[in-house]
Structure 1
Amino acid sequence: MASEVTQILSAIDQGDRQAAGQLLPLVYDELRRLASQKMTREPAGHTIQPTALVHEAFLRLVGSEDLPSWDSRGHFFAAAAESMRRILIEAARRRKTEKRGGDRQRIDLSSEDVVEHPEDSETLLALDEALQKLESEDQELARLVELRYFTGLTIDQTAELLCVSPRTVKRNWAYARAWLRREMEGDGPA
């Protein structure tokens, strides 16, 4: 299936608009599983459902006039992770706007995950801000965080998509969590 996905991505890259219709059935189950994993971390009463998140992310990836170019299956899923992240951040910003303000609160990050159960949109927005800073310093670490946190990929799945060893992913994941924790708590470099 991976080679079939790569072939379809190549066809999309070459301008075949019909290839996008062939892609969704091949990647839907995996995207749905990733979205479901991500949604378990969202606060109760969240208005976006996993199916809606998958469809919105997919439309953003292949529904525009200017189709992006993906080098591989891993690149596509990284783009899907970024798209899901943006959708969730946009929803969090809308919720924050609806609440009309509120100060950020310091949070403790678990050793297993960046934010185990975000209590509110403030936490997600703080994470997004910190992740943007991390991306400006190290794009690969930011990509790893997106794959692990926003799509819920395992260490092994992330290693496969990033073409590195699981050991490298574990080491970089620990570093990225610590960096984000420091940044979100306000103890980061000035």
Structure 2
Amino acid sequence: MTEHNGYTTRLQNLLDRWSAGDEKAIDEIIVHSQEQLRRIASRMLSAKPHVGRWNLTDDVLQNALIRLHRSLKAVKPDSKRAFIGLAATQIRRELIDMARSLYGPEGRGRHHKSDPGQADPDGNAHPLYEKADPADDVINQLEMVEFHESVDMLAEDEREVFKLIFYQSMTQSEVASLLKVSERTIKRRWRQARLSLKRILGSDEK
């Protein structure tokens, strides 16, 4: 993830103004960070093709920004690290709600039937691609929702590292620099976070 000193300096200035009670700063924070948050939303959405099939990045971003605006009314992050963490959480929650809506009992993702392909000479239509079992599709999506919700159950230091690497595509070196700890510490927290998730989800994988 590329760092831009101008972006970070401006963001910190806006966060300081918001913490000091400047009501106008909150909207400026949203506008200033929109492009970076769009990139985060795009990365998260690309990891969830069954949600991305029905929603564009800007759909996710728009709803997540509404969530973020509400959150900023209650929480005043004092650094870029805290702000990006808060924003990424709102994007992730929006994706979870989208998955629930799409693959719940009345969801269009659960009941969707793919259009057939061109008919053969005998008039029989064939699917454009091999269609997966709809039941498996729903189960996979519900398991994915459970996985993302389980991330919030991790210990704070594990959760922060996991979110930065898994959701924001940061390297371990970049995370170490951001959190001002050694790369060895990040490797340890990243490994422990994955082991903790396996325990939470009841996996026997090593």
2:45 aligned partner: 39
- Structure 1 residue 67, shift from structure 2 partner: 4.2
Give the CA deviation at 1:9. 0.8
Distance 1:177 1:64, change over 3 A: closer
Tell me which amino acid in the other structure corresponds to 1:132. Answer: D
Query: What's the RMSD between the two structures over aligned residues?
Result: 2.8
State the number of aligned residues. Answer: 168
Matches within 5 A, 1:19-38: 19-38=25-44
Task: Identify the residue that residue 114 of structure 2 maps to in structure 1.
Answer: none
Structure-2 residue corresponding to 1:98: 105
Residues of 1 paired with 2:55 and 2:18: CA distance?
28
**Residue deviations 1:94-138 (CA, integer Å, cap 9, x gap):** 2332368x9xxxxxxxxxxxxxxxx8322322213432332xxx1
> Normalising to structure 2: TM-score of the pair?
0.68
> Pick from 151, 154, 157: which aligns with 1:131?
151
Which whole-Å deviations, capped at 9, do the CAs of 1:135-172 have from their partners, x for residues lacking one?
xxx11211222222233333233333333233322221
2:33 partner letter: V
Moved over 4 A (4+): none
8 Å CA contact 2:150–2:200 kept in 1: the answer is yes
Identity %: 26
SS in 2 for 1:133: coil
Q: Which amino acid aligns with 1:151?
A: Q
Higher relative contact order (CA 8 A, sep 6+): 1
Q: 1:63 to 1:152 in 2, by over 3 A?
A: same
Q: SS state of the match for residue 76, structure 2?
A: coil
Number of the residue aligned with 1:8: 14
Gaps of 5+ in 2: 1-5, 111-138
- For residue 67 of structure 2, the aligned residue among 60, 68, 83 is 60
TM-score relative to the length of structure 1: 0.73
